[in-house]
Structure 1
Amino acid sequence: MTQAASQPGGWVDPYRDFNFKLLINNITNGHFTRVSGLGVKVDAIEYREAGDNATVKAIPGRTTYLPATLWYGATASTEAWDWLHSTITGKVSRRNVSIALLDVAGSAEVMRWNLTNAWPCEWRSESLDAMSREILLHSLVIAYEGLDLEPGSGGGS
């Protein structure tokens, strides 16, 4: 289902969050189930001008990219752990990561976030519980040095 071009004042359905794919170094990694924490923050540096003591002004300061958490179901694959282990041993493997949001049908990208020079900085496992039948999830937290947003090739909601 393709979303029509929006008319001024016309309703446009928001995108859904369940159809996405994750690419690391342009290779699709389909085993991730959730991505959270993606963000950027620009510090505000406050100052006062001489002669205007009543007003505090602000200018942009340091830009910080917030760590992103990638969730995935535990399998026999050690790919995520191996990537983290390279960091632990001092051989940081920086990779370009893209998160592509897909339309409802899953056939076209509607937007893409590109994270540059990403590397893993934390790994966690969910609790093991003998009374549960849930899927065991692991999370991999990645730090990155840049974030860009690209419009996708297709529209959709």
Structure 2
Amino acid sequence: MAQFVVNPRRFDPYKDFRFKLKWDGRYVAGISKASALSRTTEVVTHREGGDPSTDRKSPGRTSYEAVTLERGVTHDLDFEQWANKVWNLQGGDGAQVSLADFRKDVILDLFNEAGQIVISYQLFRCWVSEYQAMPDLDANSNAVAIQTLKLENEGWLRDPAVVEPTEPSFDVPA
């Protein structure tokens, strides 16, 4: 059975505001929000002939919810370039989809308050199903312009190699 080392000094859960998303081997700039990693397994019900009053249940197909990313609008082209690999209007006949590389594996890292990586998930075979380049614009608003990217995926796994780090201490010897 797998064993893990627990930090006996940490009682607080990790915060949800320290995270980074990585694709193509580098962190993507400015992501301010990522939706939850969620999966659902269908329930298959059946009955046995000799027991008509009781349903039996077993697991069926598992599906993984899409992950939506949000970030402020900047000159960084990462979102748009990936979205254009799935559908490029200017591609012409037969060149609208980049079949060789429209899918990517993505890594979602969570950090503690000291900036140490504490949990990492790999999302497999992601591709862009929705892209919002610009939000509704409102001259009476006082908000950041946000663009969104919705990533379909075929599953995710937690990286067991990422273990709980030793947290830094500012204790000063006497």
Pairwise same-fold verdict (TM > 0.5): yes
Which structure has the larger Rg? 2
**Aligned residue number for residue 122 of structure 1:** 130
Question: How far apart in 2 are the matches of 1:122 and 1:53?
Answer: 46
Question: Distance in 2 between the 1:14 and 1:142 partners?
Answer: 27
The code of the aligned residue for 2:129 comes to C
RMSD: 2.1
1:137 corresponds to 2:139:
no
Contact 1:38 1:66 in 2 (8 A): yes
- Map of 2:40 onto structure 1: 41
**Partners of 2:7 and 2:164 within 8 A in 1:** no
TM-score, length of structure 1 as denominator length: 0.86
Structure 1 residues 86-119: Cα deviation after superposition (integer angstroms, max 9, x where no partner): 101222411110110001121x111111101111
Deviations 1:121-154 (A, max 9, x none): 1012422110122110011000011210124333
Distance 1:26 1:59 in 2: 39
Residue 110 (structure 2) pairs with residue 111 (structure 1): no
Give the number of aligned pairs.
150
- Report the structure, 1 or 2, having the larger strand content: 1
> Percent same amino acid among aligned pairs?
28
* Bigger RCO of structures 1 and 2 (CA < 8 A, at least 6 apart): 1
Structure 1 residue 25 displacement after superposition = 2.7
Partners in 2 of 1:17 and 1:49 — Cα distance? 46
CA distance in 2, matches of 1:25, 1:59: 38
TM-score (norm 2): 0.78
Q: How does 1:93-104 map to 2 (within 5 A)?
A: 93-104=102-113
